[in-house]
A = this chain, B = another copy of it.
Amino acid sequence: MDIAVLGTGAVGRAIAARLDELGHHVVVGTRDPQATLARTGPDGMGNPPYAAWQGEHASVSLQTFGEAAAGAVVVVNATGGGATLEVLALAGADNLAGKVLVDIANPLDFSAGFPPTLSVKDTDSLGEQVQRTYPDSRVVKTLNTLNADLMVHPASLGEASTVFVSGEDAEAKALVTGLLESFGHEDVIDLGGIETARGAEMLLPVWLRLMGAFGHAKFNFKIVR
């Protein structure tokens, strides 16, 4: 499948590498490919330079957000929540129309320090904002509730855990559920329409506090029923 992954951080790299490994044709999108490849130091989140990762994933090409989205049938938003709407605007509504748009971002607001709060919550969500802004795209909110490595290697926890999907389009959710299962997810819960992204995004505050209590991010929610 032709898949664009928007974002070159830890989440984008993890998703792109796993999709590539699974045989998909993956293009990573960034603002300015030349600038991204020219960086030699760690990025703002401490990830090694993208060029080093690129060297280990030669079959994944790097293009602008718009070019990447244009050639894809599935577009994955793997940017930070604060950048999401700007990045999708750069990708372009025409390039996103009709596409399955997988939104992994969390609307975290770090302006008051750590732990961050949510810039939108409870009566709205980032997933809904994306769907409202791109009504011709089929938005599926998912994978925002666990860390990048577990998103794509859930079996490494040693016990099945849960991921969620929210969205208006049943076909798009089925396609995304299939991708999640190919990553190793055994329990994908369909929460309902894109409104239910409110619930999934509001898991972040307890996730952040669990990370604080454990001192690591190797954990996930499981819904026992």
Q: CB within 8 Å of B: which residues of A?
A: 117-118, 121-123, 157, 159-161, 164, 189-192, 196, 198-200, 202-203, 205-210, 212-214, 218-225
| Chain B nearest Cβ from A114, distance in angstroms | 12
Smallest beta-carbon distance A192→chain B, Å: 6
Asked if B225 contacts A214 (CB within 8 A), the reply is yes
When the two chains form their complex, are residues A209 and B221 in contact, meaning their CB atoms are under 8 A apart? no
Give Cα distance in the complex from A117 to B195, angstroms.
13
Q: Is A223 in contact with B210, judged by CB distance below 8 angstroms?
A: yes
- Taking A191-B213, A199-B205, A202-B206 as contacts, is the C-beta distance between A225 and B218 under 8 angstroms? yes
Residue pair B191, A199 in contact (C-beta under 8 Å): no
Chain B residue, CB-CB nearest to A216: B225
In the complex, which of the residues A160, A203, A209 has the most CB atoms of chain B within 10 Å of its own CB atom?
A209
Question: What are 12 A-B interface contacts by the 8 Å CB criterion?
Answer: A118-B122, A159-B224, A189-B210, A189-B213, A191-B206, A191-B213, A192-B213, A200-B206, A202-B206, A203-B206, A221-B221, A222-B224
- Identical copies in the complex: 2
Residues on B with C-beta less than 8 A from A192 are 209, 212-213
State the CA gap A212–B218 with chains docked (Å). 29
Q: What is the chain B residue whose CB lies nearest that of A116?
A: B122
Q: How far is the CA of A157 from the CA of B224 in the complex (A)?
A: 7
Residues of B within 8 A of A159 (CB): 224
* Contacting residues, chain B, for A200 (C-beta < 8 A): 206
| A205 & B117 in contact (Cβ 8 Å cutoff) | no
Residues A161 and B196 in contact, CB atoms below 8 Å apart: no
User: How near does chain B come to A157, taking the closest CB pair, in angstroms?
Assistant: 5
Cβ A219 vs Cβ B208 within 8 A:
no
Further pairs besides A191-B213, A203-B203, A220-B225: 11, Cβ < 8 Å: A160-B224, A161-B224, A190-B213, A191-B206, A191-B212, A196-B206, A199-B205, A214-B225, A220-B223, A222-B222, A222-B223
Chain B: minimal CB distance from A220 (Å): 5
